[in-house]
Structure 1
Amino acid sequence: MSEIRKPGESLPESASALARVAATAAWHTAGWGVRTTARGARRVGRAATDRDEAAALAHDAGEAIAAVGELARAASQGTPLGKALVNAGATLGGLVPEPVTDAVNGHVVASRTVTHRPEPPEPTLRERGQELLVRSRDVWSTDQGHPAFGRILDEVAPDEARILMLLLNHGPQPSVDVRTGGPVGMVSSQLIAPGLTMIGARAGLRYVDQVPSYLNNLFRLGLVWFSRESLRDPLEYQVVEAQPDVLAAMHSVKFAKVVRRSIHLTPFGEDFCRTCLVEEDAAAADFPEHATPGDGEAVGPA
């Protein structure tokens, strides 16, 4: 095939121009690939279980290959670079020329291309479920952590993260309820002050008065649970029961009693802490053990 050169252009200059054309084509092709990666990932997952989607995906891939080949042929035949790229872009993205007019006299001075190809419809719940099962069989998957962890990080306050780290590093925390006691309390005991703890002070929280709200949110997210059982070490409770809020609740009635409980991380909460809140090299360390919710135990706030 004879080489096409502009008048007065040397062979090295033509080769350099052709190289620029090839580089530009590669750049635009790569850009198109990046823009369609996220959409293509979903289509590949659906194509594994849908014959029609697989055929459409193969057809689109063929169009992309044909567009790149057409660009190379047009450039080698002397087609202006701008026109060749516009034609290739029209093949890839369904681009349609649109005139650009002069704002003063209304004449057409240039043209541009705009995309008119509609976005593919969002996958149905069943398609998403099938894609999830396909991913579950992928032995090369590098997914780390539960997919809900990202959402949970957006719904956890800084003080709540400190509570989680306290539970992870120092184990379950004591909690007490103050109820009416005495002879009447043995028959019908009334709750005076629930869920009193020292978590705010021990975790170094900024807003100590928000501890009940923090614990309720962590329970809502499935990260902590509240046990009716007490901890083995009674000294843990002696410190809590000497706190001013506990003493004030006990002195508010003639007869009072203290019911000892405990607060634990759930297995899901411990996994969240190891994945998101500790350094990577410390994630596999041994931390204090937490109880797992069992039958007949309270698993919500008091």
Structure 2
Amino acid sequence: MASNSLGLLRIAANAGLSTAQWMVQTTVHTGQRIVRGIVAGEPPVKIAQELGAELRTAAQTVLGVRPAAAEHSASTEELRARGAELLRRSSDVHFVEDTHPAFERILGELTPDEARIVRFLFREGPQPTVDVRTNRPLGIGSELIEAGLSMIGRQAGVRNMDRTNAYLNNLFRLGLVWFSREEVEPSRYQVVEVQPEVQEAMARAGRAPRTIRRSIHLTPFGEDFCRTCLPTDA
């Protein structure tokens, strides 16, 4: 037991000595490199970049750390070959593509609440949304108070109602929904406009606030995704 402890102490002492020697040698080398670079008229940025790379490599050597392998970046030839393979498969009458290759990735980027919203839009169709703005003559200088107010989160049954707009933004990023300037049936906006959050925004907008009626739709890609990946009859 005592011999093991002595061995560990020797290793620690040798490591400390090696580190101290490296620090002294590196300090001297760095100073010499800076002087040589200045005398040679090299740009300071170039000197700093070269020294940074040298110091990282030296430190990894002393500490026994292997440099991380650089991430592989596909070359133009590799990308072109993959594109050519896609075109080849598109002309192959025997090739059957069951699902879009992005569906698996999208499932990993959805929250449970977002999945509920996608299914709701698939089953119920486009939904009304409103923007609340201040009222100004001819709309000049009108200020946006709240945007994209809807009942989608409530009707879809999400757990985190306050994140509904963030959920919709992510679904838009993934290409599953789109925000339209077109209106749905006018009567459907009356229910939205009496909701507490809409009424609060209108109160903050001041006298005679304006509501801009819009809608949110599932894209054809989103419909295909929902039909393929989510149980729609639950």
1:237 maps to 189
The Cα of 1:182 is off from its aligned counterpart by 4.8
SS of corresponding position for 2:213:
strand
Q: Report Cα offsets for 1:214-261 as digits up to 9, x if no partner.
A: 000000011111111111x22211110000010011111223111110
State which structure, 1 or 2, has the greater radius of gyration over its C-alpha atoms.
Answer: 1
Decide which of 156, 168, 172 is 1:219's aligned counterpart.
Answer: 172
The reply to whether residue 161 of structure 1 matches residue 115 of structure 2 is yes
Q: Report Cα offsets for 1:89-134 as digits up to 9, x if no partner.
A: xxxxxxxxxxxxxxxxxxxxxxxxxxxxxxxx99811222222222
Q: Report Cα offsets for 1:178-227 as digits up to 9, x if no partner.
A: 001153x6332110111100011100001111111100000001111111
What's the TM-score once normalised by structure 1's chain length? 0.49
Alignment of structure 1 residues 114-129 onto 2, 5 Å: 124-129=78-83
The reply to whether residue 264 of structure 1 matches residue 217 of structure 2 is yes
Identity rate, percent: 59
**Cα distance between partner residues in 2 of 1:137 and 1:278:** 32
Q: Is the 8 A contact 1:223 1:269 kept in 2?
A: yes
Letter of the 1:255 counterpart: A
2:26 maps to none
Letter of the 1:272 counterpart: F
Decide which of 110, 117, 129 is 1:175's aligned counterpart.
Answer: 129
The reply to whether residue 190 of structure 1 matches residue 173 of structure 2 is no
The reply to whether residue 137 of structure 1 matches residue 91 of structure 2 is yes
**Cα distance between partner residues in 1 of 2:104 and 2:157:** 25
**Cα distance between partner residues in 2 of 1:278 and 1:137:** 32
Which structure: greater helix fraction?
2
Decide which of 202, 205, 210 is 1:250's aligned counterpart.
Answer: 202
Q: Report Cα offsets for 1:9-48 as digits up to 9, x if no partner.
A: xxxxxxxxxxxxxxxxxxxxxxxxxxxxxxxxxxxxxxxx
Decide which of 148, 153, 161 is 2:102's aligned counterpart.
Answer: 148
Q: Report Cα offsets for 1:28-85 as digits up to 9, x if no partner.
A: xxxxxxxxxxxxxxxxxxxxxxxxxxxxxxxxxxxxxxxxxxxxxxxxxxxxxxxxxx
1:27 maps to none
2:32 maps to none
**Cα distance between partner residues in 1 of 2:114 and 2:222:** 12
**Cα distance between partner residues in 2 of 1:198 and 1:216:** 15
